[in-house]
Copies of this chain bind each other. A is one copy, B any other.
């Protein structure tokens, strides 16, 4: 007695990140059988996404009103830009207030294997912001994967031509706080040895 609506919900839920076939079935049954009020509330929250959520015209962060976010509308922040891959990384860093400059969300990484080309990312917008904000440094905080490295190099090369005095940097590779040596790849150990810091 397979139900159409059960199959449709399972299909919807299997698109979600981290949800496989088994969990999708469990969640679909949960949605089908829980209190009506809970689903009404959930639908209301989903509807709000369309009406109340926008992307900042500068950095592509999520905002609930206006055209630019709180950071981008503040002219007194440091004139550096921290380049991030996605909203998830942005939320983690901005919530923890670890940076005094501006953020820029790329909305992905260049990936030859997955067919993601530079024009699919927010690189043009980044170029606009450098001039406008008199930016002196671009800091890349992209993942240390092949796609992350390719994206860092591509953007750096593009910008270097246009802004020869701009400083480019990337967050340090090394041993994460709390890790033992033998949990880390040899490549990272080698880098962390080469880039060792003096202790006073």
List residues of A whose CB falls within 8 A of some B CB. 1-6, 8-9, 12, 15-19, 23, 25-27, 29-33, 36, 38-43, 45-50, 52-53, 61-64, 69-71, 82, 84-89, 91-96, 98-99, 139-141, 143-145, 152, 156, 167-182, 184-193, 195-200
Contacts and interface: CB of A to CB of B under 8 A. Distances in A.
B26 A18 contact: yes
Given A1-B70, A43-B46, A89-B180, 11 more contacts: A1-B61, A1-B63, A3-B53, A9-B46, A16-B27, A29-B87, A31-B49, A98-B193, A141-B193, A177-B188, A195-B197
Copies in the complex: 4
Contacts of A177: 144, 173, 185, 187-188, 191
B62 A181 contact: no
A148 to B, nearest CB: 8
28 contacts: A5-B52, A12-B42, A17-B30, A18-B26, A19-B27, A26-B88, A29-B87, A32-B87, A39-B49, A40-B50, A43-B43, A85-B181, A88-B182, A92-B182, A141-B193, A143-B180, A171-B189, A171-B196, A172-B173, A172-B192, A172-B195, A173-B174, A173-B197, A174-B175, A174-B195, A175-B176, A177-B188, A177-B191
A196 B138 CA distance: 11
A70 B36 CA distance: 24
Q: Which 6 A-B residue pairings sit nearest by Cβ, starting from the closest?
A: A174-B174, A172-B174, A171-B192, A172-B195, A143-B180, A169-B196
A194 to B, nearest CB: 8
A154 B176 CA distance: 21
A171 B180 CA distance: 12
